[in-house]
Amino acid sequence: MWVPGQPNGGKLQECTTFNAETGNFYDKSCSYKSCFVCTWKREPVFKLRGLCEKTQIEQSYVLLPQFKYVFFYGFERNNILYEEKTGSWLIVEDNQSVEDLVDPANDMKSSKIVGTLNLDKSNNLMPIGTNFWNLTDTCNQMMPLKLTHVSTYMSFIHT
């Protein structure tokens, strides 16, 4: 999952980040503390916490890192995908198969976007942790949501 030659920064690059174009991880300098997924034995399950009471956005997702683009596949009606054109993470409402989602011909036009998260495009950061999502479903507001793991099969690097 690492970019070839990574990690390579020792004490100078103590953070890990994600490159959405290659789907690989690399180390990077940082001035803040964060927690980042490093390895896993099984596909980790994540929970989206902090949604409003009347939302139809689901809470549980499986991280599927084995495809060109890492994404979070929902159990029922939503997926969390990275859109390279805008550098945004999107919560989409659809019931497409994993194969359809990773098909390069699929440009998400058939998916209804119910949430967006704009992170620093130069870092291509994962949406893990607490971030302000713009929800357009019944919540219809900017909300601090927290995407956290719930699987016990995760290993983490604290940087």
User: What confidence tens digit (pLDDT) does each residue in 82-139 have?
Assistant: 887 788 899 998 766 666 665 656 655 567 899 999 876 555 578 888 999 999 998 9
Distance CA 139, CA 53 (A): 8
Q: Would 1 be classed as within a structural domain?
A: no
Q: Would 34 be classed as within a structural domain?
A: no
- Angle, vertex CA 74, rays to CA 70 and CA 79, nearest 5: 55
User: One-letter amino acid identity for 108?
Assistant: M
Q: How confident is the model at residue 23 (pLDDT cuts 50, 70, 90)?
A: low
Q: Would 66 be classed as within a structural domain?
A: yes
Q: How many domains does the chain have?
A: 1
Report DSSP state, residue 2.
B
Range of the domain at 67: 40-151
Distance CA 5, CA 112 (A): 39
Q: Would 106 be classed as within a structural domain?
A: yes
Distance CA 146, CA 132 (A): 9
Judged by average pLDDT, the poorest of 9-18, 54-63, 94-103, 118-127 is: 94-103
Q: Would 33 be classed as within a structural domain?
A: no
CB 104 within 8 A of CB 84: no
Judged by average pLDDT, the poorest of 34-38, 41-45, 101-105 is: 34-38
Q: Would 96 be classed as within a structural domain?
A: yes
Q: Would 13 be classed as within a structural domain?
A: no
Q: Would 47 be classed as within a structural domain?
A: yes
